[in-house]
Amino acid sequence: MKFGTKVIHAGVQPDPSTGAIMTPIFQTSTYVQQSPGKNQGFEYSRTHNPTRAVLEKNLAALENGSVGLSFASGMAAIDAILKLLKPGDEVISTNDLYGGTYRIFTKIFANYGIRFHFVNMQDMAEVRSHLTKNTKLIWAETPTNPMMNIVDIEALAAISKEHGVLLGVDNTFATPFLQNPLDKGADLVMHSVTKYLAGHSDVIMGAIVVKDAELAEKLAFIQNSCGAVPGPQDCFLVLRGIKTLHLRMERHSQNGKTIAAYLKNHPKVEKVYWPGFEDHPNHAIAKKQMRDFGGMISFTLKDNRLSDAIQVLENFKVFVLAESLGGVESLCGHPATMTHASIPREEREKVGLSDSLIRLSVGIEDAEDLKNDLARALESIQ
């Protein structure tokens, strides 16, 4: 199937008992068994639920994987991945990444004897320099959050295979519509389903997709044992959201291009971070591994004043100041005080995350309205 067909049909069948075209919400905790151990494939909803099972098959198909696993949040999915490790193991991670990921690395799993190295993954020599016999996982975001850096997944995969290390890629910003890390050699791909996959700012969920059966079995064991699973109502909403993923991502990308170009030429904007620009440091890699460049944009203001950033954020009318991203509505955020506040200031500044940096999740509204909203908000700076 082509992608636009997959999002609607992959893993989905009409309900055999009623013929319902939409997957029912199986709002049940347990299932009747004909005899001890003899059931219809479901025994307890922490382990398996029919609505969740359909979603997981759909997610696996979208990422060209063999097994999909859904979790109660994106952080629950990352937590499950880290539980593959043991004390003494080491992780090499991008140095620009979501604040919640940084927090779970440094404040939770570092306490259990796992060591984390945060490196510039645009430089493969730097990745190699941190490899040791204890390295068990390479963790990448691409595009990164919020600096929109691009990491070469194939180059990372070559390193991971050479050293027998797992490669995990957070594909939240790109979605399976724009890139498929498993096809580039990654071992597992993770999503904050909350964002573009669900797409309507009404669900919290995470997911992991893998190809390897043994790795899938280990993660499924963790999923069931630890129990951080989503409910059937949320699975239903995500299945519904995914059906328009391709259409939404096309519009997000179109609007993203328009807004990025507008900001780049604005006299009050210092720099725009968007991988679609030819002068983006890794534009050639983005062009090679992505089908388009998406709707996530970050930008800084002239003079880099926190007060100016707050002034802009307070004067938006269409862009909504809120955590998260990937909804149909345009969102704006201030990473230094919101999504990345858990990262120490000196670490933020090392990667260019300044006090005036504003992150935009460009929605699917009319692009002219979005440009006018930006013009009004930027004009408020004195």
What is the third-level CATH fold of 3-240? Aspartate Aminotransferase; domain 2 (3.40.640)
Residue 352 has a pLDDT of 87
d(CA 89, CA 132): 10
> Which listed residue (6, 52, 184, 195) is catalytic?
195
Residue range(s) of every CATH 3.90.1150.10 domain in the chain: 244-380
> Which listed residue (46, 302, 350, 376) is catalytic?
46
**Residues with Cβ < 8 Å from 73, sequence gap 6 or more?**
192, 194, 204, 205, 206, 228
46 is catalytic: yes
170 is catalytic: yes
Residue 339 has a pLDDT of 86
- pLDDT tens, 65-113? 999 999 999 999 999 999 999 999 999 999 999 999 999 999 999 999 9
> Which listed residue (79, 96, 170, 355) is catalytic?
170
The tokens for 361 are 């999740």
β-pairing, 331-333 vs 320-321, is: parallel
> What is the three-class DSSP state of 264?
helix
Domain 244-380 sits in CATH at 3.90.1150.10
Residue range(s) of every CATH 3.40.640.10 domain in the chain: 3-240
> Which listed residue (6, 52, 96, 98) is catalytic?
98
Q: Show the low-confidence residues of the chain (pLDDT under 50).
A: none
- pLDDT tens, 21-65? 999 999 999 999 999 989 999 999 999 999 999 999 999 999 999
> pTM of the full predicted structure?
0.96
